[in-house]
Every structure is written in structure tokens, then in C-alpha cells.
Amino acid sequence: MGLFRRSRDKKTEAPAPARPEQDDVQDLIGTLLEEGARFATEHRLGTGSEDVARADSILQEALDANPSDEEKTRLHRRVTGYLYGSVLQNFPGSTFVTGAPDNPVAMLVGDQENGVQVLGWSKVQGRIDNGPEDHLQFFYDGIARYLDQPGMQTLM
């Protein structure tokens, strides 16, 4: 009967499907920033270039103690969160963007046409894997240098 029949003239829209990968990235960003804030508090770090250099030294001291893989993972997340938190503090208007599988969280400092894509996740992992030649302060200071150049730049 017509009592339960839908009108064929009306289009009903289903709710937009959830994007779990986007939710996962948002959760990861929140977790990283929380862990980074705890790292900064524990080590009495500010957000300036000299503080990023101190964070690099703290990271090296931890690596010199031959941490387990689990401890390296935790250290990676904490230092990455600290680095991203420092960028947010010192470069207003910075936004998070979805990265690639090897860099799930990236930041955009500036705008899409004249900005810097900051791949902090990969940078901190490189610092852990490769040692002091992947110095975090040099990386951090590069943001301001690249912002003065036209076009989109990528730091990793």
C-alpha cells in the first residue's frame, strides 16, 4: 500500500560517511601535542630556537642510554609533539595537514602559495636513526629562512 512507500520525487541524502583516517590524524595530533607539552614541562623547555637545540641535546642523551625500541617510539612522539608545539607557538596561523604513511602528520606554515611544509615526524625519526647530523635546531631555524622565499618549500 501507499502508506509506507517513499515518494520517488524526493531524494534523501545519507549522512556523509565517517572518515576514520581523518579522525585518526586528529587524535594523533592531539596526542602528540599533549606528549610534547609534557616533554617541555619536564625539561623546562620554552619554544625558541635555543630550546629546540636543548631538546636535541636531551634527545641525544636519551639515545646514548641505548633505549629499547618502545622507548625510542615514545621519545619520537614526545619530541615530535614538542617540535610541532614550538612551531605553532612561534609561527601563528600554522596548520596541520595530512601527511604520507612515513609522515602521518605534517604542518603548513604560511599559505599554500608561499609557505613551508614542515615534516617534523620524519625529521625527528631521522634524528633518532641518523644521529646529530639531523640536528633539530637547524631544521627549526630553516622554517623562517624558507618563509622569506617565494613558492612552497618542504623541510624534512
Q: What's the pTM value of the predicted model, to 2 decimals?
A: 0.81
pLDDT band at 76 (very low <50, low <70, confident <90, very high): very high
Domain membership flag for residue 118: yes
Q: How far apart are CA 33 and CA 12, in angstroms?
A: 40
Q: Confidence class of residue 22 from pLDDT cuts 50, 70 and 90?
A: low
Q: Does 12 reside within a domain?
A: no
- What pLDDT score does 21 carry? 56
If one counts the domains in the chain, the total is 1
Domain membership of residue 105 (yes or no) is yes
Give me the domain span that covers residue 33: 21-155
Q: Which residue has the cell 608545539?
A: 85
In a domain, 3, yes or no: no
Is 13 inside any structural domain?
Answer: no
Residue 5 placed within a domain: no
Residue 119 placed within a domain: yes
Confidence class of residue 20 from pLDDT cuts 50, 70 and 90? very low
Partners of 110 in the beta sheet?
115
Residue 62 covered by a domain: yes
pLDDT at position 13, please? Answer: 41
How is the chain classified by DSSP, letter by letter? Answer: -TTSPPPTT---PPPPPP-HHHHHHHHHHHHHHHHHHHHHHHTT--SSHHHHHHHHHHHHHHHHT---HHHHHHHHHHHHHHHHHHHHHHSTT-EEEEEETTEEEEEEEE-SSSEEEE-HHHHHHHHHHH-GGG-HHHHHHHHHHHHTSSS-EEE-
d(CA 101, CA 83): 19
